[in-house]
A = this chain, B = another copy of it.
Amino acid sequence: MDKFTLHEDPISANCYKIRLTAALLGIPLERRLYSILNGETRTAEFLSTVSSFGRIPVLQIGDSTFLPESNAACFYLADAANPAFTSSSPLQVATLIPQDLLQRAEMLRWMFFEQNQHEVNIATLRYWLYVIGEDKLETSRRAQIKGKVAAGEQVLDCMEDHLAKSEHGWFVGDSITLADICLFAYTHIAGDAKFELSRWPSILKWCEQVKHVPGYIPMD
């Protein structure tokens, strides 16, 4: 098995997703920490070796393969979860990716939704309000807060609606998949972005369900 190294900032739930996926699959990850705020992902060394785009997380596979994009890294780990991994997996399933063709596409549907509609609103608001601080925001960002709050609420309404109808309380099928992990990352800390999760009871219940999966690890 290749050695995996996660280039990450613990403040980012995009990074946490990958750690949670690896933990549920029983895959060891070495962590390499950077501070986004201190510009450590913009150094010449980072840009030339880890990612020329200057973003984290990046999953390093072996010595020389670097895979950016959190949801792609989660997919890689779960896709690689063959029987060789299973023996050490806390889950009784070999993979977090459904075998069924339609369920696999539905899992990806929620993962793309997460990156296109959830992350760009809820994670961005959290970064602005919780990490940087509202009083330090540029005017152009401040002007976007209202729109992002409304879009974030619509995203949570959509998740609530889906989970309320879900027989097993998971996004797809009858067990946890990458869709749950990727959406959980920024949802369970949406309070940092000033979303009151008590407004969305099915989401709160689902968050508890995720926290009780064998092998679960919390965000730092």
Shortest Cβ distance from A170 into chain B, in angstroms? 17
Q: In the complex, which residues of chain B have a beta carbon less than 8 angstroms from the beta carbon of A143?
A: 140, 143-144
A153 interface hit (Cβ, 8 Å): no
Given contacts A76-B101, A79-B105, contact A52 B158 (CB under 8 A): yes
With contacts A120-B120, A144-B140, A147-B140 known, is A69 near B108, CB below 8 A?
Answer: yes
Partner of A69 from the list B73, B112, B161 (CB cut-off 8 Å) is: B112
Also in contact, A112 and B112, with CB within 8 A (given A61-B102, A102-B61): yes
Mark interface residues in A157-187 (1 if CB within 8 Å of B CB, else 0): 0100100000000000000000000000000
Q: Which residue of B67, B119, B147 is within 8 Å of A116 (Cβ)?
A: B119
Number of this chain's copies in the assembly equals 2
Q: For chain A, give the interface size range.
A: 35 or more
Could you say which of B52, B70, B79, B146 contacts A101, with CB atoms under 8 Å apart?
Answer: B79
Cβ contacts under 8 Å, A116 to chain B: 69, 115-116, 119-120
Report A55-75 residues with CB < 8 Å from chain B CB: 61, 65, 67-73, 75
Q: Which of B65, B80, B105 contacts A72 (CB 8 A)?
A: B105
Q: Is A113 in contact with chain B by the CB < 8 A criterion?
A: yes
Nearest Cβ on chain B to A83's Cβ, whole angstroms: 14
Indicate if the CB atoms of B69 and A109 lie closer than 8 Å. Answer: yes
Q: Encode A4-28 as 1/0 by CB contact (under 8 A) with B.
A: 0000000000000000000000000
Q: Is the CB of B119 within 8 A of A161?
A: no
A40 CB–B CB distance under 8 Å: no
Which of B53, B76, B109 sits near A105, CB closer than 8 Å? B76
A104 at the interface (CB under 8 A from B): yes
- B144 near A68: Cβ-Cβ < 8 Å: no
Please report A residues at the B interface, Cβ cutoff 8 Å: 52-53, 61, 65, 67-73, 75-76, 79-80, 101-102, 104-106, 108-109, 111-113, 115-116, 119-120, 140, 143-144, 146-147, 154, 158, 161
